[in-house]
Structure 1
Amino acid sequence: MPPTAQTKFTALHFQNTIATEFTHGSAIAPDLFTQAIALVQDTEVSAGGEVSYPIHDSLNWRMSRFGQQARSTLEAALFQNEDGTTWQAKLSTPIADPKKGKPRKYETPVGSGSRAFFPNLDSQTRSRIQNRYQTLVPPKSSVWDWLKVRPKVPIVLTEGGKKGLSLLSQGYLGIAPYGINGGYRSKDAIGEACTPYLIP
């Protein structure tokens, strides 16, 4: 079903709200925002009539196409890793967390584990990093792969994707694990308590 005027308005309002929140509220450079964040609707129709479900696909959600109840329109800002996978999503209508009794700010892909956010970096962000650290940064290839073999280059760990993007916008190599307890495990593969260890 093609988008209606109402869904187009809702999507445009969400896109403008997110762009303002990220670029003005969180000081993320517009070019980096465009590079790292994909703004999508739950159902999209190509010019050829092919239907896709980018939110469900990105978050590994099960899609129920047939039911007795109409779905509400949903938009999302997808935090994109440089490999094209989704790290997290900020939904237009947050889903309630039954354990906490309040809406979740972000959704993470089902089964992806607790990984850090490694967005693809635009040329201006690469230049800012190069200027701050006074070292050559690869102009096209992965900055994160480059960083892996340079342990003396300082990094800044922060909580949250927006904070990570804000640091990158200022030329810092900001890495954001999931949440305040992200980046480590305190249980082994079978769920037994163990000495905490970093997630590779």
Structure 2
Amino acid sequence: MAKITKETAENHIKELLEYIGEDPNREGLKGTPDRIIRMWKEIFRGYDPSQKPKITTFDNGKDGTACDNMVIDQGDFHSNCEHHCVWFWGKYWFAYIPNPKGKIIGISKIGRVVDYCSARLQIQERLVHDIVDMLKEALGSEYPPLGIALVMKGHHSCKEFRGAKKKGIMTSSYLEGAFKDDPQVRAEFMNLVNGDKYEG
């Protein structure tokens, strides 16, 4: 697919402004097409492989203490619905149980992976898979984690501000290994997620 120029993209935005009844040449809108293009380069950086985060991992137990307990990270996410090109946003809970012979991941890198995978047109159901796949790849396949899990809870503009106009939270999850097969491990993780009382 041939790449269009920035000028062509700006002209298309001007046409869309005209389509909704606006005058793209009025004072307040003169710089808007350029601003939109620059904003898209930022919020859709997930399409740029050069911005893919470098995920730092460490050999588990190399410092003399091997970790085989649940490691949990949580934070916020923002993405764009591929069906209507409007925001969806919310909170994530990621957890994994490191393999004693495998790798552990730098905790700050998890949020960077969430942000990168979120920075493209998405659906929440696929987003959980994209994030876990990237983190699993970094942790390696020789000694994979004993379990890995991700829960995302999000508000969707396409539901809340148009169409149904109903406020509500969508939950998507990905469970593997001990989180899927061991009810006690799953319950420990889900109790933490559900105890957070996220309302957005």
TM-score class normalised by the smaller sequence: under 0.3
- Considering fraction of residues, name the structure with more helix: 2
**TM-score, length basis structure 2:** 0.27
**Which of the two has greater strand per residue?**
2
What is the TM-score when the length of structure 1 is the normalising length? 0.27
